[in-house]
Amino acid sequence: MTCNHCVRHVSDALRGVPGVAKVDVALPDAAEVVHDDSASLAQLIEAVRSAGYDACHAANGTRP
């Protein structure tokens, strides 16, 4: 991500996942997502990828 448009695009994609309550995306490549158990990590990553960006689990860098 390189601009505020990217941040908005990723934020909107993550907010579209059922179960997501809060999204905080920051440049250059950080995101915090608060969700309940109905939103899986794979769903969140797929939402970001569908928006045209790459994503992984920040704690360990794994890609489902």
What the block records as the tokens of 18 is: 């059922």
Residues β-bridged to residue 57: none
Q: Does domain 4-50 bear CATH number 3.30.70.100?
A: yes
Question: pTM for the full model?
Answer: 0.79
Local confidence band at 62 (pLDDT 50, 70, 90 cut-offs): low
6 closest CA partner among 56, 63, 61, 48 = 48
Q: What is the mean pLDDT of residues 25-46?
A: 83
Label each residue of the chain as H, E or C: CCCHHHHHHHHHHHHCCCCEEEEEEECCCEEEEEECCCCCHHHHHHHHHHCCCCCCCCCCCCCC
